[in-house]
C-alpha cells in the first residue's frame, strides 16, 4: 500500500515516477484518486492575487498533467499485461475497464449477428440505440420536435433540461442547439 495518504505535488510526482519505473502496476491507496481530487479541488478553491495566483495555477496545471500521465500509464500497463493484477487496480480504473469489456462484447455481438445473417437483431439494436434517451440542456429555444421514437418533445426554452432520444440529441448537439448533461457532484 502506498504511504501517500495525504497528497501534495511532491508525493504525486513520486507516485508517477515509481509507476513509470516499474513494469507492473503498483499498489496505491484505495482512495488515491479521491484524495487527489480533494487536493486539486482544494487548490482550485483558494484565492490568491498576483504572483501567488500564478503559482497556484501552475501547481494545479502540474497536478493535472501528472494525474493524466499516471492514469494513462496505469491503463497502458493494464492493456499490455498478460496477467492482470486486479488487486492493485483502483475502483476508478475498474470502472474504465468495465466500459472496454462492454465495448468488446458489443463488437462480438455485432460481428456475430452480421456473419450469422441476423439482420432483424441488428435492426433491433440500431432502433434501440437511436431511441435510447439521454439528458440534454438546451442552449437556445427549440419548437416541438418529433423524436426518433415518434413521440413529441418540447417546445424548449434556453437552459431547459430534457430527456430526449439519442438520435435527436446528437443532431441538436451537432448544431450547438443543445449540450449533453454529464452528472457530477
For the ranges 4-13, 81-90, 127-136, 158-167, which has the lowest average pLDDT?
81-90
Lookup: cell for 68: 493524466
pLDDT (tens digit, 9 = 90+) per residue, 67-108? 999 999 999 888 887 766 667 889 999 888 888 889 989 999
pLDDT bucket at 2, cuts 50 / 70 / 90? very low
Can you say how many angstroms the Cα of residue 32 is from the centroid of all Cα atoms in its chain?
17
Report the distance separating Cα 123 and Cα 180, nearest Å: 25
Exposed (0-12), middle (13-18) or buried (19+): which is 99, by Cβ within 10 Å? exposed
- pTM, two decimals, is 0.67
Query: Average pLDDT over the chain, rounded to whole?
Result: 90
Task: State the CB neighbour count (10 A cutoff) for residue 178.
Answer: 26
CA neighbor of 19 nearest in space, from 72, 67, 74: 74
Report the distance separating Cα 3 and Cα 157, nearest Å: 52
pLDDT at position 98: 86
Report the distance separating Cα 21 and Cα 11, nearest Å: 15
Within a 13 Å sphere around the CA of 130, how many CA atoms are in the beta-carbon half?
12
Query: Apex CA 130: angle with CA 172 and CA 146, to 5°?
Result: 55
pLDDT at position 184: 60
pLDDT at position 1: 35
Report the distance separating Cα 73 and Cα 16, nearest Å: 9
pLDDT at position 185: 40
Average pLDDT over residues 43-50: 93
Domains of the chain, with CATH numbers? 9-104 (1.20.58), 126-180 (3.40.5.50)
pLDDT at position 100: 84
pLDDT at position 23: 87
Cis check: omega of the bond before 155, within 30 degrees of 0 = yes
Give yes or no for a contact between 71 and 16, defined as CB atoms under 8 angstroms apart.
no
pLDDT at position 4: 40
Contacts of 176 (CB under 8 A, 6+ apart): 139
Helix 119-131, helix 166-174: angle, nearest 10: 60
Amino acid at each position: 500500500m502506498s504511504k501517500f495518504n495525504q497528497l501534495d505535488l511532491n508525493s504525486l510526482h513520486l507516485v508517477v515516477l515509481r509507476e513509470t519505473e516499474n513494469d507492473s502496476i503498483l499498489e496505491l491507496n484505495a482512495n488515491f484518486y479521491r484524495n487527489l481530487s480533494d487536493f486539486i479541488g482544494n487548490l482550485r478553491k483558494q484565492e490568491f492575487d498576483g504572483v501567488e495566483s500564478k503559482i497556484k495555477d501552475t501547481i494545479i496545471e502540474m497536478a493535472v498533467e501528472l494525474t493524466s500521465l499516471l492514469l494513462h500509464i496505469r491503463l497502458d500497463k493494464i492493456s499490455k499485461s498478460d496477467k492482470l493484477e486486479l488487486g492493485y487496480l483502483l475502483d476508478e480504473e475498474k470502472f474504465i475497464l468495465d466500459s472496454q469489456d462492454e465495448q468488446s462484447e458489443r463488437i462480438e455481438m455485432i460481428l456475430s449477428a452480421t456473419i450469422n445473417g441476423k439482420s432483424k437483431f441488428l435492426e433491433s439494436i440500431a432502433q434501440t440505440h437511436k431511441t435510447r434517451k439521454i439528458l440534454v440542456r438546451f442552449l437556445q429555444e427549440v419548437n416541438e420536435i418529433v423524436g426518433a421514437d415518434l413521440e413529441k418533445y418540447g417546445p424548449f426554452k434556453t437552459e431547459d433540461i430534457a430527456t430526449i432520444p439519442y438520435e435527436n440529441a446528437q443532431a441538436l448537439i451537432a448544431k450547438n442547439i443543445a449540450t449533453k448533461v454529464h452528472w457530477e457532484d
